[in-house]
Amino acid sequence: MTLRPFALSEADVAVVDGVLRLSRDHRDKIEVPLVALRDRCRCPACRHPSGQRLLDPATLPTDLETTDIRIDADTIRMTWMPERHESSYAISDLITPPLSRRESTLWDAGAEAQLPVSRYSTIISNDTTGRGALLRWLQGVQQMGCGLLHDVSTVDGEVTRVAELFGHVRETNYGRWFDVRSLVDPSNLANTSLGLAAHTDNPYRDPVPTMQLLHCLESTAMGGENMVVDGWRVANVVRELKPAGFDLLVRHGVTFRYRDGTTDLSAHEPLIMLDGDGIVSGVRFNPRSMQDPLMPPAELAAWYEAYLLFARLVADPRFQIRFRLDPGDLFIVDNRRVLHGRTAYEATSGARHLQGCYADIDGLHSTISMLQQQESS
Ligand code: OGA
Ligand code: ZN
Ligand code: ZN
């Protein structure tokens, strides 16, 4: 945003009801509550050179007043009472910028061509081209909530090296990484040859891992195609079609649980979460680990109506992107947003072996930001 110079004088400043107001002929009005202005002070007593705040909000007086306001070009200075603390601010910094949220493109089956796809060898090379390719791929993953990578060495644990390209592996009771293949007596249906309807992983954790990676080492078995579904998109469709049922999915928690010989994990959370602006910001969908939902019968019937609609939309090819993983292929999902699943496979027809790991999305955002700064410097 470019700002016009704010040629003001003291006559353009007023403090009304605890709010500092700067205006000229009723144009270019800036309003900042005194308490917020005091808290923004960037003097060495209030801010550490790191940019972190030293000022303890518990010590701010409740009867703040400001005196001796002076304006000098783009700078406004004042003395805070009763503290007698002196502060100065760039007036252009006082204009409230519009809140920017991270961009997401909600998608359905038609978006297949927009999925970010790259090669491991391209995004690991630590030169301008490699860093640019990594940035583009990570931005795609941020925007779409998932992405594909080819040519990842079919070596044990290699999946964690991909997670480390943007963040840190989230180790769990399944280990730093885990095998997904058909076992004789599995504690998790992922380790059978059954189909897995699209789901989010580990809804029984608090907090849930926000990124999941699955890497294919072997795939000669018949079947076992993967699919991904934009859960935020599906949630928005449920909201349009059944607003009252949608509210129940948001308001009522359900218990998710996972147990084996050494672990008993559970979390009680709603299927759909909204952010402070009412925008869908999380889904947990996993019938395998969902316990019987408990709520008053009248609400339970309406809850189920919305839940079944959600499930049918998730299973609807109009919302799915499908692909077959060959050895060396890997996909990554934002596990709060994009559901993943697989079709059944014939365990007797060949081998199917994936390895997975979890990671967190804060690292993805941070790496994107650092790569952007490097690129523009
Ligand atoms: C999983 C899973 C899918 C697959 O292990 O979480 O969903 O393709 N696996 O086997
Ligand atoms: Zn200060
Ligand atoms: Zn899964």
CA pair distance 248, 298, nearest whole angstrom: 11
Tell me if 231 CB under 6 Å of ligand 1.
no
Tell me if 284 CB under 6 Å of ligand 1.
no
Of ligand 1's listed atoms, the one at least distance from the Cα of 212 is 6
pLDDT at 308: 98
Q: Strands 117-119 and 146-150, how do they pair?
A: parallel
Q: What is the DSSP letter of 211?
A: E
pLDDT at 127: 95
CB neighbours of residue 275 within 10 Å: 10
Distance in Å, CA 163 to ligand 3 centroid: 17
CA pair distance 162, 160, nearest whole angstrom: 5
Distance in Å, CA 213 to ligand 3 centroid: 9
CA pair distance 65, 34, nearest whole angstrom: 8
Tell me if 227 CB under 6 Å of ligand 1.
no
Q: Which residue CA neighbors atom 9 of ligand 1 most closely?
A: 190
Type and span of the H or E element at 275: none
pLDDT at 26: 63
Q: What is the DSSP letter of 53?
A: B
pLDDT at 350: 94
Q: Strands 272-274 and 280-283, how do they pair?
A: antiparallel
- For residues 123 and 117, the answer to whether their CB atoms sit within 8 Å is no
CB neighbours of residue 239 within 10 Å: 19
Distance in Å, CA 54 to ligand 2 centroid: 9
The closest alpha carbon to 332, from 178, 194, 140, belongs to: 140
CB neighbours of residue 46 within 10 Å: 16
- For residues 322 and 176, the answer to whether their CB atoms sit within 8 Å is no
pTM of the shown model: 0.94
Angle between helices 128-144 and 361-376 (to 10 degrees): 140
CA pair distance 370, 361, nearest whole angstrom: 14
The closest alpha carbon to 361, from 233, 209, 147, 232, belongs to: 209
Nearest ligand to the C-alpha atom of residue 47: 2
Pocket test for ligand 1, best of 196, 219, 335, 343 (most atoms within 8 A of CB): 196
- For residues 286 and 212, the answer to whether their CB atoms sit within 8 Å is no
Pocket test for ligand 1, best of 188, 214, 288, 326 (most atoms within 8 A of CB): 214
Q: What are phi and psi of 267, to 5 degrees?
A: -145, 140
| Regions of the chain with pLDDT less than 70 | 1-7, 25-27
Tell me if 283 CB under 6 Å of ligand 1.
no
